[in-house]
Amino acid sequence: MSEIEENKPKPEPKPVEKKKPDPRKKLAKPDKMLILNSSPHLHTTKSVKSIMWSVVIALFPAMAMAIYYFGLPAVWMILTCVAAALGAEIIMNLMKGEKITIIDGSAIITGILLALTLPPSFRLTSAALGSIVAITLGKHIFGGLGYNIFNPALLGRAFLQASFPVAMTTWSNPITPKFENTDAISTATPLGSFKFEKIFTDYSDMLIGNIGGSLGETSAIAVLIGGIFLLILKNADWRIPVSILVTVTIFGSIFWMLNPAQYPDPLFHILSGGLLFGAFFMATDMVTSPITTKGAWIFGIGIGILVVIIRLFGGLPEGVMYSILLMNGATPLINRYTRPRIFGESKK
Amino acid sequence: MAKKKTSLYREFVKGLWDDNPVLRMLLGLCPALAVTNSAINGLAMGMATTFVLLSSSIIISLLRKVIPHQVRIAGYIVIIATFVTVADKFLAAFLPEISKSLGPYVPLIVVNCLILGRQEAFSSKNNVGRSILDALGMGTGFIFVLVVLGGIREILGSATLFNLQILGDWFNPWMIMILPPGAFLTLGILIGLGNWLNERKVKV
């Protein structure tokens, strides 16, 4: 007995103590259900990464048409802008001492979007400068992705527009049979030729993109395909492009009906310039557009009205960029005034 | 009276970086933004401001016990305006081109917050020697920032520095830099860089 008594206490306490925590740990798993979390409780499978890469895929038709119409320079332009954007992103990440965020695709999108809004014959070094400005001043100065007030790509473009006003409005011909016999190496955009010379461009050419203009905005069909792909995936708020296009149609037709000789018809408004591209890819940027549904309508209507006003009465032929940037600036206000009432809160 | 204990050297040096009028105290931003489209304009503006700051600091420091407290701001303004007029007429007489390019900003030195701020915060409470050192330090810091700001904008905006071509034909001037947005962008980046450097200095 003495042997057993002596032996027993020695080995027993240790294994018992060791074994006890194990079942507790297994029990602890269901206990986690009781941990209190603040909302949101429902999570989507979407991530920044998946949304961003879907935008890159949605931009493929526009990029393909850009390369088809403007050839190798378009390829170099896109590659330069993307490379400069990625480089700037890495440098800013290192300066801020944070994780390198080039994988999330946002810098690639900024690069592609900027490249597609530049004239085909634009200098590559200047394009790279625009890309760097877009990432550093447009995004990281404000704190990185999610904190920027203005769409980075458009900010980069606005910087280039102010820096190189002549180069930014020199449009070279698409390399298609239509332009083979012309002597001039540069052309005007449909908006420019209408504004300054009152010449209409053929709608079929504008639809497929056989016109002068920025790399990615000429082909309405390619932009529409990519845009609708984004809307089907619900990675862009459909209210924004719809409200922009409807507003431009209504507002544009009012002026057209008042004086058809002076003002272009609404279809011309929609097919020309960067309106479709801006409406589907720039205005729908999740960071810089309102988060409420009512706000999205106000945002889109505001852009539509500004576009028509700038195009018809401004000094510039095209106003999509400035319209979107202005409404970006108004987004925090729109968010504040369209905030839904908390359940049970009384009306004032 | 802890301020009296700061060394004379410190009184001068503080204006260069730690209390730099533009980068740290954000005073005198109007001329800093408006006339710095070239380095020479920045230098002229900085010199004129420093002259006014120094002269009025001396006078106000001497008169600090004479000026009644209730009307001190009006008194300071009269003294400052006198020296601004001197500076304005001097520039118009001897450097007419610079006077032309600075335009209304020379007379506007009178409302420069930096000058009134230093009189109110420093000269009216300290003796002449310290006031001179303070004015010189602040003025040097102001000139430094204006020349750097003007230099950056001139190099990028017109490829020259002090009207000398320094960048070749390969460089395409960024027109935005000599326009008002360029001033805001450059000043913002300079202030940001200054803060970033200071943060690192503290950590080390």
Query: Residue A157 pLDDT > 90, yes or no?
Result: yes
Determine the residue of chain A that is closest to B176 in CA distance: A163
List the one residue out of A49, A52, A162 whose CA is nearest residue A112: A52
CA A65/CA A303 separation, integer angstroms:
26
Chain A nearest-CA distance from B179, in A, is 9
Nearest-by-Cβ selection for A163 from B175, B192, B196:
B175
Interface ipTM above 0.90: no
In a domain, B3, yes or no: no
Query: Considering only residues 91 to 150 of chain A, which have any Cβ-Cβ distance to chain B shorter than 8 Å?
Result: 95, 123, 125-126, 129, 137, 141
Does any domain span residue B8? no
Phi and psi torsions of B161, nearest 5°: -140, 125
Q: A211, exposed or middle or buried, with CB in 10 Å at 0-12, 13-18, 19+?
A: buried
pLDDT in tens, A181-228: 555 556 677 777 777 766 777 777 777 777 778 888 888 888 999 999
Q: CB distance from B159 to chain A under 8 Å?
A: no
Put simply, the answer to whether A163 touches B176 (Cβ < 8 Å) is: yes
User: Which CATH number fits the domain that encloses residue A193?
Assistant: 1.10.3430
Q: Residue B175: its chain A contacts at CB < 8 A?
A: 162-165
Determine, yes or no, domain membership for A66.
Answer: yes
| Contact between chains at A123 and B172 (C-beta distance less than 8 A) | yes
Q: How many helices (H) and strands (E) does chain B have?
A: 8, 2
Phi and psi at B165, nearest 5°, equal -65, 115
What are the start-end ranges of the E strands in chain B? 160-161, 164-165
Q: Does the residue A20 lie in any domain?
A: no
Structure tokens at B100: 């032309």
Q: pLDDT tens string for chain B (204 positions)? A: 444 557 888 888 888 888 888 888 888 888 888 888 889 999 999 999 999 999 999 999 999 889 998 999 999 999 999 999 999 999 999 999 889 888 888 999 998 888 998 888 888 888 898 999 999 999 999 999 999 999 999 999 888 888 888 777 778 888 888 889 999 999 999 998 888 888 887 766
pLDDT at B37: 86
Residue B68 lies in a domain: yes
Distance (Å, whole) CA B90 – CA A3:
112
A229 within domain boundaries: yes
Is A148 in a helix, a strand, or coil?
A: coil
Using CB atoms, pick whichever of A129, A141, A162 lies closest to residue B181.
Answer: A162
CA–CA separation, B6 and B133 (whole Å): 12
Dist. CA A215–CA A69, nearest whole Å: 8
Q: If you write DSSP's letter for every residue of B147-177 in order, what string do you get?
A: HHHHHHHHHHHHSEETTEE-S-TT----GGG
Is residue A245 domain-resident? yes
Contact list in B for residue A162 (CB cut-off 8 A) is 175-176, 179, 181
The number of distinct structural domains making up chain A is 1
The beta-strand segments (E) located in chain A are: 171-172, 186-187
Which residue has tokens 């007489």? B93
Q: Is residue A23 one of the residues assigned to a domain?
A: no
Asked if the structure places residue A333 within a domain, the reply is yes
- Confirm whether B9 is domain-assigned: no
What residues contact residue A115 under an 8 Å CB cut-off, 6+ apart? A74, A77, A78, A80, A81, A82, A127, A131, A215, A216
Number of structural domains in chain B:
1
Which H helix or E strand runs over B140? Answer: helix B128-158
Q: Would you call B176 and A159 a contact, using CB atoms and an 8 Å cutoff?
A: yes
What is the distance between the alpha carbons of residues B190 and A152, in angstroms, rounded to a whole number?
Answer: 21
> Nearest-CA distance from B5 to chain A in Å?
39
Task: Sort out which chain B residues have CB atoms less than 8 A from A158's CB and list them.
Answer: none
Parent domain of A289: 48-337
How many Å apart are CA A182 and CA A191, to the nearest integer?
20
Within 13 Å of residue A279, how many CA atoms lie on the same side as its CB?
Answer: 34
CA-angle at A246, arms to A240 and A248, nearest 5°? 100
> Is residue A41 a part of any domain in this protein?
no
Q: How far apart are CA A344 and CA A323, in angstroms?
A: 37
Residue with tokens 């048409």: A65
What is the pLDDT at residue A23?
Answer: 52
What domain range is B135 assigned to? 16-203
Beta-bridge partner residues of B164: B161
pLDDT tens digits for A273-297?
789 999 999 999 888 999 899 999 9
Contacts of A312 (CB under 8 A, 6+ apart): A255, A263
**Among B47, B50, B29, CA closest to B39:** B47
- The residue length of chain B stands at 204
Tokens 């095209």 belong to residue: A318
Chain centroid offset of residue B67 CA: 26
Which residues 148-167 in chain A show a CB within 8 A of chain B? Answer: 159, 162-165, 167
CB B186 within 8 Å of CB B42: no
